[in-house]
Structure 1
Amino acid sequence: MRGIQILLLIVLLQSCTAQDNKINGVSFVAHRDSITQKNIDPLVNINANYASIMPFGVIKDLAHPEISYGSERQWFGETKIGGKQYVKALKKDNIKIMLKPQIWVWRGEFTGFITMKSEADWKILETTYSKYILEFAQVAQDSNAEIFCIGTELEKFVEQRPDYWTDLIKKVRAIYKGKLTYAANWNEYLKTPFWEQLDYIGIDAYFPVSDSKTPTIEECLAGWVKHKKNIKAFSEKYGKPILFTEFGYRSIDYAGKAPWTVDRIESKVNLDAQSNTTKALFQTFWKEDWFAGGFVWKWFINHDRVGGIENNRFTPQNKPAEQVIKSQYNIKG
């Protein structure tokens, strides 16, 4: 009997340790202004220990090779100076940083479909993307960011130019000495060819888990079974921890059916759908040793003016899902 008690204690301690060490993060949306303690306090209140800072570069369309960034028209939080200010302010409250520069295509087209029409255009894209990424790798190094993400949901770019990415990672490593990841879309990560070169397998975790209008926690847990099995096996294959570089659900009917949906549909607000899907994700992954944690999509700096019970977008702010996140992020074992 005593042997069984000791075994149960060991299992419990291991579970506590796994939860203690998690990256409990938010995707911290850039703003036109610098941030102050007022903007950081809500993160402290939900027990977040990481924030993803996302300085955007812009291209005109899916076949356009030039990335523009750092212009006077971009918001302060999307610039190198703004990124450094955000990092410095957040670190004062012991919030660690993932710097995650990513591309925005005009009219919101999906970045995974970016592909060039000629070798000359590919070379231009590679040159401008390298300049963009390496400049922010230097920002990450200068500001002591704990994690740097080399790209987000660039499936066709990665698929068609794998040698470029291998070389880019080497160049980033020469500048930045922290941990590296890439944010692969949920249906992309199995095909991404360079995980061995990185420290985390990054996944934007918009996996479908339920077809119900208001999915229950139990339905979502069942919906995660197959995905979790594949994700765990992939982690074991490479000997790398899984990091959800983005995760989250809209407060909308059928939130678990196609969680990647960003269209401005005026569907009915469903706060239970958002809460239940979020709880199931936490229950599925946060206790696992091979799972590093993740970043909620998404969190705006002016907490008192966003989200709310009439909002059907991704942010959990001022909705029941915020309390779900706070409770999970508060677990200390």
Structure 2
Amino acid sequence: MGYLNRKKRIFLSLVILLIMVILVKGVLIDVVYVDQQYEKKRIVTPYGEKIKSANLSVDYSIEQVMVDIEQLGLNTVNVPVQIDISSLTASTMTVNLESKAKAIQLIKKLRYKGINVILEPYPYIQNGELYETQLKPSDINEWFWNWKQVVLSPLIKDIAKPYKVYALCLGSNFDQFENQYDYWTDVADFVRTNYQGRITYKTNWWYTAEWDQQKNERIGSYSLKLNNPILQKVDFISVAAYFELTDKETNTVEELVSSIYKTPIFDRHQNIYEELKNLSAQWNKPVYFGELGFPKRNKAAVHPWNPIPSTIVNDQEQANGFQAYKEVFEKETWNLGFSVFAIGKIDEFKNYYPSEQSVVIIKSWYEE
């Protein structure tokens, strides 16, 4: 009997071993498949490898995201995780667990499709009613401790590491305290210690003007951004590119291209192209348009940051904005790419969702 029992145990052990081999082989095949898919999704041009991405509305649906990826020909998606902040002066915050779970569910699908992920902790202030550009914590020391330990640490541990995201965004558009250089470099060092992947920081758009003698002292001004040491710590510089271009309700592509080199709005004569190029050269880092969007309205190029700059719907004006940026920046080696703002949800309130005309332009970027 003992001999038979031993044979049964050996047989069962061999069966278990065979099952484990099959499971491991299946995982390896899946990993190889994902890697092969990634190779298919890379965009390599004569001007280097490029990111062709889109930001998601916080209320995105996974199904719509997957449709939009195919429609726009994207190789990357900027995936937000909602960070709930109670007010503009709050120094504490929490990771929204529902948003986090949805992000993980989406990222699994994106990985299988070979789509890269830029993971972004997205400040959601007072239920989304207020903007992160106006956030000014009452206790800056407490805010940064919480940002590292409550936000970035679990995102690294639970998402960035296990799902091997393309890049992690350290922060986005914090205009009011972007000049807290020591705190921000500490954040970058903290992330580098805990995460070996790419990191970036998203700075908000700015303006300069020939007639503005105080621009070097203005919070969020170009000079402050140009000399921000956190940009030395990142792999690439992200810019939310809502630059004010013109003072006209509608514009031709040619007019918008000209405005990128010399903005006519308020006679500022800002050379956006030159300033972005200099920002890249200052830190020897590529510049990436972490948000590039225009509302489907008249005056889209006057105030691109405003979802309703006019009551007049104008799909072509939005498309002209994308075309102008394409013509100016597509072939620049120092420009890493762009992320369209915003996809993933279609309704009457989504003024930034790409129009049919814009889809044609976006899809063509890097495909010629």
**For this structure pair, what is the TM-score category when the shorter chain's length is used for normalisation?**
0.7 to 0.9
Name whichever of 56-65 and 291-300 sits farther off.
Answer: 56-65
Whether 1:260 and 2:342 are equivalent positions in the alignment is no
Q: Deviation digits for residues 167-222 of structure 1, max 9, x if unmatched?
A: 11111112221111111001146524210011111100001122221111011101
AA paired with 1:322?
V
Among candidates 164, 183, 204, match of residue 240 of structure 2:
204
CA contact (8 A) 1:208 1:223 kept: no
Among candidates 46, 51, 54, match of residue 17 of structure 1:
46
Report the equivalent of 2:316. Answer: 272
Paired positions, count: 296
Name whichever of 251-260 and 87-96 sits farther off.
Answer: 87-96
Inter-partner Cα distance in structure 1 for 2:174 and 2:235: 19
Whether 1:95 and 2:125 are equivalent positions in the alignment is no
Tell me the C-alpha RMSD between the 2 structures: 2.2
Among candidates 336, 357, 364, match of residue 292 of structure 1:
336
AA paired with 2:328?
T
Secondary structure of the corresponding residue to residue 48 of structure 1: coil
Report the equivalent of 1:50. Answer: 76
CA contact (8 A) 2:71 2:359 kept: no
Q: Deviation digits for residues 259-287 of structure 1, max 9, x if unmatched?
A: 11135x67010111101111001111111
Q: Deviation digits for residues 76-124 of structure 1, max 9, x if unmatched?
A: 4x21x3222211101212211100112122253231222233xxx2232
AA paired with 2:89?
A
> What TM-score do the two structures reach when normalised by structure 1?
0.82
Q: Deviation digits for residues 216-265 of structure 1, max 9, x if unmatched?
A: 101110111110011111211211000111001001011101111135x6
CA contact (8 A) 1:252 1:312 kept: no
Query: Greater relative contact order: 1 or 2 (C-alpha under 8 angstroms, separation 6 or more)?
Result: 1
Secondary structure of the corresponding residue to residue 283 of structure 1: helix
CA contact (8 A) 1:99 1:140 kept: yes
Which runs of no fewer than 5 residues in structure 1 stay unpaired? 1-14
Report the equivalent of 2:199. Answer: 180
Which runs of no fewer than 5 residues in structure 2 stay unpaired? 1-43, 207-219, 262-270
Whether 1:127 and 2:145 are equivalent positions in the alignment is yes
Inter-partner Cα distance in structure 2 for 1:98 and 1:285: 21
Among candidates 205, 224, 238, match of residue 191 of structure 1:
224
Inter-partner Cα distance in structure 1 for 2:58 and 2:111: 16
State the 4+ residue runs in structure 1 displaced beyond 6 angstroms: none
Q: Deviation digits for residues 8-61 of structure 1, max 9, x if unmatched?
A: xxxxxxx9422x62111011234476x35x741331232100000011112121
CA contact (8 A) 1:268 1:312 kept: no
AA paired with 2:358?
A
* Bigger-Rg structure (1/2): 2
Secondary structure of the corresponding residue to residue 161 of structure 2: helix
Report the equivalent of 1:249. Answer: 294
Inter-partner Cα distance in structure 1 for 2:323 and 2:112: 30
CA contact (8 A) 2:68 2:344 kept: no
Inter-partner Cα distance in structure 1 for 2:115 and 2:305: 27
Percent identity over the alignment is 23
Inter-partner Cα distance in structure 1 for 2:82 and 2:286: 26
CA contact (8 A) 2:286 2:334 kept: yes
Inter-partner Cα distance in structure 2 for 1:311 and 1:68: 27
Report the equivalent of 1:112. Answer: 133
